[in-house]
Amino acid sequence: MRFTLPAALAAAVLLAAAVPASARTHDRHRRERVRSHITLHVSTHDLVGGRRLVLRGRVRPRGGHRVKLVFRGPRGAALGTSSRRDGAFAVRWRPRGAGTYRVRAYGLHDRRVRASVSPARRVTAYRTAAASYYGPGLYGGALACGGTLQPGTLGVANKTLPCGSRVRLRYRGHSVTVPVVDRGPYVAGREFDLTAATRARLHFPSTGVLLSSR
């Protein structure tokens, strides 16, 4: 009985030695996931009028891999897709509301590759809004959100957005991000009153329609 255990151990050693080294190496590599890398590009950083955004990217190493795109913003979303044999992928997305979104692509891990994440891309979706401006003759007056109106005050008046809310506005290629500083306008059909300084930054006329992120 005392010779049984050493004999069994010797048999196990001989059996392990009989397995080719190449097979053991292959099994080890099959279990280990390789490092992956994923990139992401957007067709535009400014979306107007409900248009769709095209997102493209590539996963390395090449091959079919699962990809998840996560949109964080006013009305976030998550989309799933797979890369092609060359590692490339493309997705179309339409935001469900105005606002600024941050999107990342995630390469999900599988038997061959580790998970990876792309840098965040920023996209702003705009809607149209009627606006006017105010200022001359009112300088020195109190603002509903605190402070006084001055010629250099950057901001907008709005009836419902919380004071201090940041709004990105665009008008014919000009853009500016300003806070809500006052209440108004009180003319039917208008959503924003721009301060004179905001109007100057946008090259906006007395009244008109601009693009708003809120």
pLDDT string in tens for the chain (214-residue length): 444 555 555 555 444 555 555 545 445 545 577 889 999 999 999 998 779 999 999 999 999 999 999 999 988 899 999 999 999 999 999 998 999 999 999 999 888 889 999 999 999 999 999 999 999 889 999 999 999 999 999 999 999 999 999 999 999 999 999 999 999 999 999 999 999 999 999 999 999 999 999 9
Domain boundary among 68, 102, 119: 119
CB count in 10 Å sphere of residue 148: 11
48, burial (CB in 10 Å: exposed 0-12, middle 13-18, buried 19+): middle
Same domain flag for 61 and 112: yes
Query: pTM surpassing 0.85?
Result: no
**Residues of the domain holding 200:** 127-212
* Sequence-distant (≥ 6) Cβ neighbours of residue 55 within 8 angstroms: 40, 41, 42, 43, 69, 90, 91, 92, 93, 103, 105, 121
Residue at 157 is within a domain: yes
Residue at 133 is within a domain: yes
Residue at 139 is within a domain: yes
Going by C-alpha positions, the residue among 129, 112, 102 that lies closest to residue 60 is 112
Q: Left if phi > 0, otherwise alpha if psi is -120 to 50, otherwise beta: which for 112?
A: alpha
